[in-house]
Amino acid sequence: MKGQQRSPQRRSSAEFPTGFLWGVAAASYQVEGAVNEDGRGQSIWDTFARTPGKVRHGHTGDTSVDQYHRYPEDVTLMRELGVSAYRYSIAWPRVQPDGSGIFNPKGFDYYKRLSDELHRQNIKSVATLYHWDLPQALEDAGGWPQRDTAYRFAEYAAGCFAELGDHVDMWTTLNEPWCSAVLGYDLGEHAPGHTSKSKGWAAGHHLMLGRGVAVQAYRALTGTATAEQAGARVVAPIGITHNLETPRPATRHPEDIAAADRAADMRTRFFLDPMLGRPYPQRHFAAYPEEMPPPVLDGDMETIATPIDFLGLNYYFEPVVVTAPEYPEGFRAVNSYHETTDMGWPVTPLGLSRHLRWVWNHIDGRYPLYITENGCAMPDELTPDGLRCHDPGRVRYLRDHFSAALDAVEEGVDLRGYFVWSLIDNFEWSLGYTKRFGIVYADYVNQRRVPKDSYYYLREVISGTEDL
Ligand code: FCB
């Protein structure tokens, strides 16, 4: 439908800005496996996955797609795909097994080997410092609701900057702190599985604080206030990845429009505004007087506002909300009329352009944007000969989202890159291996990788031989 609404001219990846970064993304616990090798410590996800009833079918990341050993093959798949960047994450318990004190050189070695292989195949190494695998020892001491964890994160980050600074081309501090805070400590759906709103918001504050301290440590080490200031000296940019939401009102009634605005408070403004020097949104805490607002100490907000170099956005779908005066927060989500993916998430490409425009305006164009994750789960199966995997739904999903991103670019949003989630099927958190997000099919029995049709489609898009 959307295609028919647009101008009939050819649209190709060449219309994205020069130097646009095409990439694929993944995260340590989801793909690495090798959880007991080379001195890796335990993380909250090892514990959570082993707790009966937490992860579907009792699946764990113990082996996953074994990228720890098979990374050369995966990097080759990336090169053949034509991407210029791989966004992976560093497993904190691999490089600092107990989350404080002693670092583990063998853990760093893995990320050096991975980066060397990426560079050898002409791909940028884009590292996320925290994609949810908190060392279990830190959780035992109270986890993210404890202020000290923020400083432990900054210490770990400084260790990574020192050891891996020559290997990494772009740093992301946190992946989706909303998930770590709210799914982990409030809703209990993710590790470590707590259910306390106050813990959730305290965790959120400490995550944001820890990354502020980490960015300050990075600036001290590189001797510049921003990556741009480094001039001829190459300093890898540092940013953050958020999963913000800018819900759409279900109708044009002013009540629903107001509800959609309120819905952005805790999911979006809480995680974005303090980074821009603005206060935490207050409406939510007024609606829930029994909930403790985050424990902010003097100087915290300034630390959180430490400038970064780019803002990463993960986008999967656009929620729809209506007014709901029966709830203290005054809104509730409703189902949309769109088709859904295997996650039950609606397919809403137009929401991506709206989201990019909203964020770009909200931050007053202060930081360039990257889509650090976008993709979908589909019920993929191999063909009977085992050689192909036809995933037309994902090809359509990607094409429509690329096109929506280009719409935003054409309207002036400074979007510099796009990372597809994910290179390969992997451990989808509490859903285990039941959801396939890869553009490469993983056969978990024999570790065979089979590129799906969407992989070939993306290859043609990147090379410019296929239209969006
Ligand atoms: C995001 C996570 C990522 C992956 C995708 C499907 O929220 O960052 O690890 O699970 O969802």
CA distance 448 to 460: 23
> 353 alpha carbon to ligand 1 midpoint, in Å?
20
Answer yes or no: 291 catalytic: no
Look up residue 100 and give its amino acid. S
> 412 alpha carbon to ligand 1 midpoint, in Å?
27
Question: Per residue of the chain (468 residues), what is the pLDDT tens digit?
Answer: 444 455 556 789 999 999 999 999 999 999 999 999 999 999 999 999 999 999 999 999 999 999 999 999 999 999 999 999 999 999 999 999 999 999 999 999 999 999 999 999 999 999 999 999 999 999 999 999 999 999 999 999 999 999 999 999 999 999 999 999 999 999 999 999 999 999 999 999 999 999 999 999 999 999 988 888 887 778 999 999 999 999 999 999 999 999 999 999 999 999 999 999 999 998 888 888 888 889 999 999 999 999 999 999 999 999 999 999 999 889 999 988 899 999 999 999 999 999 999 999 999 999 999 999 999 999 999 999 999 999 999 999 999 999 999 999 999 999 999 999 999 999 999 999 999 999 999 999 999 999 999 999 999 999 999 888
Phi, psi at residue 12, to the nearest 5°?
A: -135, 170
Residue whose CA is at the smallest distance from ligand 1 atom 9: 27
CA distance 318 to 325: 22
Q: Give the nearest ligand 1 atom to 429 CA.
A: 10
Q: Which residues pair with 2 in a beta bridge?
A: none
Residue whose CA is at the smallest distance from ligand 1 atom 4: 428
Q: Give the nearest ligand 1 atom to 175 CA.
A: 8
CA distance 433 to 55: 10
CA distance 255 to 287: 17
Which residue of the set 117, 139, 163, 176 is catalytic?
176
CA distance 122 to 118: 6
> 362 alpha carbon to ligand 1 midpoint, in Å?
24
Q: List pocket residues of ligand 1, CB cut-off 6 Å.
A: 27, 30, 175-176, 179, 243, 314, 373, 421, 428-429, 437
CA distance 299 to 306: 11
Per-residue DSSP letter, 135? B
Residue whose CA is at the smallest distance from ligand 1 atom 10: 428
Q: Which of 373, 378, 420 to mutate to test the pocket of ligand 1 (most atoms within 8 A of CB)?
A: 373
- Least Cα distance to 130 among 51, 45, 48 occurs for 45
What pLDDT, on the 0 to 100 scale, is given for residue 3?
Answer: 44
Q: Give the nearest ligand 1 atom to 26 CA.
A: 9
What pLDDT, on the 0 to 100 scale, is given for residue 1?
Answer: 41
> 289 alpha carbon to ligand 1 midpoint, in Å?
32
User: Of all helices (H) and strands (E), which one includes residue 174?
Assistant: strand 170-175
Q: Give the nearest ligand 1 atom to 179 CA.
A: 7
> 221 alpha carbon to ligand 1 midpoint, in Å?
31
Domains of the chain from N-terminus onward? 18-463 (3.20.20.80)
> 430 alpha carbon to ligand 1 midpoint, in Å?
11
DSSP-assigned letters across all residues of 45-74: HHHHHHSTTSSGGG--SSSTT-HHHHHHHH
pLDDT per residue over 120-142, tens digit each? 999 999 999 999 999 999 999 99
CA distance 174 to 28: 13
CA distance 64 to 55: 14
CA neighbours within 13 Å on the CB side: how many for 96?
23
Answer yes or no: 189 catalytic: no
| Token code pair at residue 393 | 């739904």
Helices (H) and strands (E) in the chain, counts: 17, 13
Q: Give the nearest ligand 1 atom to 176 CA.
A: 8
- Least Cα distance to 238 among 177, 174, 183 occurs for 174
Which residue of the set 117, 245, 318, 373 is catalytic?
373
Residue 288 and residue 266 in contact, taking contact as beta carbons nearer than 8 Å? no
Close Cβ partners of 389 (under 8 Å, ≥ 6 residues apart): 380, 381, 382, 383, 441, 450, 451, 452, 453
pTM of the model: 0.96
CA distance 50 to 397: 34
User: Of all helices (H) and strands (E), which one includes residue 126?
Assistant: strand 124-130
Q: Give the E-state strand segments of 308-414 in sequence order.
A: 310-314, 320-323, 331-334, 369-374
Tokens 């195949």 -> residue? 121
Kindly state the greatest CA–CA separation across the chain: 64
Residue 122 and residue 66 in contact, taking contact as beta carbons nearer than 8 Å? no
Q: Which of 89, 345, 428 to mutate to test the pocket of ligand 1 (most atoms within 8 A of CB)?
A: 428
CA distance 354 to 361: 11
> 181 alpha carbon to ligand 1 midpoint, in Å?
14
Rounded alpha-carbon distances, angstroms, from residue 92 to 27, 118, 147, 292: 12, 21, 18, 29
> 211 alpha carbon to ligand 1 midpoint, in Å?
19
Q: Give the nearest ligand 1 atom to 343 CA.
A: 6
- Least Cα distance to 464 among 23, 84, 79, 14 occurs for 14
Phi, psi at residue 408, to the nearest 5°?
A: -65, -40
CA distance 170 to 309: 10
| Token code pair at residue 403 | 């096109």
CA distance 280 to 205: 10
